[in-house]
Structure 1
Amino acid sequence: MRAQGRLGVRHRPGGDGARRVEGQGRLRGPGQDQAEGVLGDDRQGRAGPRPDAIFYSGYYTEAAPLAQQLRDRGVDAKLVAPDGAKDDEFVKNAGDAAEGAYLTCPCVPADAFTGFFDSYKKEFGVEPATYSAEGYDAATVLLKALDKGLKDRAAVLEFVRGYEGQGLTKKFRWDATGELTETPVWSYRVENGKIVKHKPIGS
């Protein structure tokens, strides 16, 4: 069942370069700016689609100018982007145009592990990056394998395959395909020039 409304999709450069608007049934190649293709080329006098939300599947380096161009065109659709745009540089580069943007990420908000956050900042002088806590969890699993005296790759791999335990960010257990059995995804929002947690996806 599909939610009502129009969704504009802008793929990141380096992919197939295509852009589509749900319900329009057409693909377009890269245009002269980030917004063209989702909104249409109004310089030629054609009224482009006006989506309710625009999803950009790329990184903050391109998401920032896209946000600015949408604002300059007077577009009030919600901008949604994935973890590649969940970076303070997106807010810095987009300026006021970033306000209200939504970002999705399979990373748990820092307030769920404040001890790690504070210790990391004290040790390195900067706040943890998007996946710092997840990296810490992954390294912990491997260190537990070494603590058991496992010395070769095959033994460590077998340990990981059968591992089950709670980390800082999530419960770690892998299925037969090597995917985590639980991967919580959160939405974040830009408010007052800051990326803040919004709510878990699906809630």
Structure 2
Amino acid sequence: MSGARVGRVLALAAATSLALAACAGGGGAGGGDASTVKIGFMGDLTGEGSAIVIPPFNGAKMAIDEYNAKSPKVKIELVKYDSQGKSEQATSLIAQAINTDKITALIGPAFSGESKAIGGTLEESKIPSISPSATNFALADRGWKFWHRVVANDNDQGPKIAEFLHAAKSPKKVFVLSDEQEYSVGLAETVAKTFNQKGVQVETDKFSKDASDYSSTVTKVKSANPDLIFFGGYYAQAGRLLKALRDDNVNTLFATGDGSLDKQLISGAGEKAAEGAVIACPCNIPSSEASGASKTFFENYKKSAGTDPAIYSTEGYDAATAYIKAVEAGKTTSEDINTFLSTLSFEGVSKPIKFKPNGEPENNSIFVYKVQGGVVKLLGPSVSAKLEG
């Protein structure tokens, strides 16, 4: 074969290779036809908050696996990014996700602090995101057009759990605690504000999320002798705090928010100490007694993940489904998907899914749970749940 002919063959092969690569690539922000769309999932998958994040990841994976099993024209690839809930780690990972992996969209970040840290980068890169679990209310006030969530924020959760507790227990004095994490501070502030508005005396305190000694906080709470204690934060800190309170014979009703809705609250505090703790969540976790779509989800999730649904399993599924519906409608670029999300409306497993112009969900129901007999049990929606004892 002559040198000229070899050159022509190599040139043809190179052109073919480039064409195939273009066809196989993800939609990306730039656009073009795609045979595969890459969607990232970011959150704490191995750190101390992973019990809140693995369930929505499993839900998202289940939705995408179900979609890909239908052999669609455009498949979806789910790419994991384990931020461990750390803002600095999320910042590094999103650069990789956008510049190297060329994701088209993101499910997450799971937590509020990391959502705040990378929201601007997602906005500048025009990458749509849907968080299944970040609840800090201020995230919706940044003017981001590519940011969304399928969960009610703390301006919904905080007042509604405070109103529920006020109606159930009529406390005259409440002690509200937080650590320095974005989510914790935001939720604690909204709860304290609501109790204040109802004429309840409120005292507050804040401690480090990495604290190992809670004696100072416990002393302050004990001295205040409140009728109710509320902690805005995650189960890792809530478990240790609750144990310290009970060890010092502070047996006041303990309430907390969605970040503590996991069995590790019980294992962290001890079953006896955790008994009676009240937990709020903008999530309705399907149980084995569920019916209809919730029952179907429960059975399919258990088969897919090998465990029962947990906090934000359904929200992860619905976030993924929102993107699936966009791809099914022929939207494979980041900007086209984002535009599609503004018109989206469907009956999700967690709730009806529809986004407001600022990315907030239209539906903002809050549910109340209680630790009873060593397990977390649903009492019902905050507007109708009853707190016995």
TM-score (norm 2): 0.46
1:82 and 1:34 map into 2 onto residues whose CA distance is: 20
Q: Compare relative contact order (CA 8 Å, sep 6+) and give the higher one, 1 or 2.
A: 2
Match for 2:268 among 75, 82, 93? 93
2:370 and 2:204 map into 1 onto residues whose CA distance is: 30
Give 1:14 deviation, angstroms: 3.9
Q: Which residue of 2 aligns with 1:180?
A: 361
Partner secondary structure for residue 157 of structure 1? helix
Q: Is the 8 A contact 1:175 1:181 kept in 2?
A: yes
2:330 and 2:233 map into 1 onto residues whose CA distance is: 41
Map residues 33-182 of structure 1 onto 2, 5 A cutoff. Answer: 33-34=213-214, 36-37=216-217, 39-40=219-220, 48-95=223-270, 96-111=272-287, 112=290, 113-182=294-363
Structure 1: runs of 5+ lacking an equivalent: 43-47
Q: Which residue of 2 aligns with 1:45?
A: none
Aligned CA distance change for structure 1 residues 175 and 92 (closer, same or farther; 3 Å): same
Q: Is the 8 A contact 2:175 2:221 kept in 1?
A: no
Percentage identity across paired residues of the two chains: 31
Aligned CA distance change for structure 1 residues 39 and 126 (closer, same or farther; 3 Å): same
2:339 and 2:241 map into 1 onto residues whose CA distance is: 45
Partner secondary structure for residue 201 of structure 2? coil
Q: Is the 8 A contact 1:10 1:38 kept in 2?
A: no
Aligned CA distance change for structure 1 residues 29 and 106 (closer, same or farther; 3 Å): closer
TM-score (norm 1): 0.84
2:304 and 2:212 map into 1 onto residues whose CA distance is: 44
1:25 and 1:71 map into 2 onto residues whose CA distance is: 19
Q: Is the 8 A contact 1:58 1:81 kept in 2?
A: yes
Q: Is the 8 A contact 2:352 2:363 kept in 1?
A: yes
Give 1:179 deviation, angstroms: 0.6
Partner secondary structure for residue 117 of structure 1? helix
Give 1:6 deviation, angstroms: 1.1
1:115 and 1:26 map into 2 onto residues whose CA distance is: 43
The CA deviation string for residues 143-199 of structure 1, in whole angstroms up to 9 with x for no partner, is 011011112111111111111111111011111211111121101000000000012
Richer in helix (by share) = 2
Q: Is the 8 A contact 2:176 2:202 kept in 1?
A: no
2:366 and 2:241 map into 1 onto residues whose CA distance is: 24
Aligned CA distance change for structure 1 residues 172 and 78 (closer, same or farther; 3 Å): same
- Corresponding residue pairs, total: 196
Structure 2: runs of 5+ lacking an equivalent: 1-162, 193-199, 385-389
1:162 and 1:62 map into 2 onto residues whose CA distance is: 39
Q: Which residue of 1 aligns with 2:142?
A: none
Q: Is the 8 A contact 1:185 1:200 kept in 2?
A: yes
Aligned CA distance change for structure 1 residues 6 and 33 (closer, same or farther; 3 Å): farther
Q: Which residue of 2 aligns with 1:190?
A: 371
Aligned CA distance change for structure 1 residues 129 and 28 (closer, same or farther; 3 Å): closer
Q: Which residue of 1 aligns with 2:105?
A: none
Aligned CA distance change for structure 1 residues 135 and 151 (closer, same or farther; 3 Å): same
Aligned CA distance change for structure 1 residues 106 and 26 (closer, same or farther; 3 Å): closer
1:24 and 1:134 map into 2 onto residues whose CA distance is: 33
Give 1:26 deviation, angstroms: 7.0
Partner secondary structure for residue 130 of structure 1? coil
Q: Which residue of 1 aligns with 2:179?
A: 12
Q: Is the 8 A contact 1:13 1:58 kept in 2?
A: no
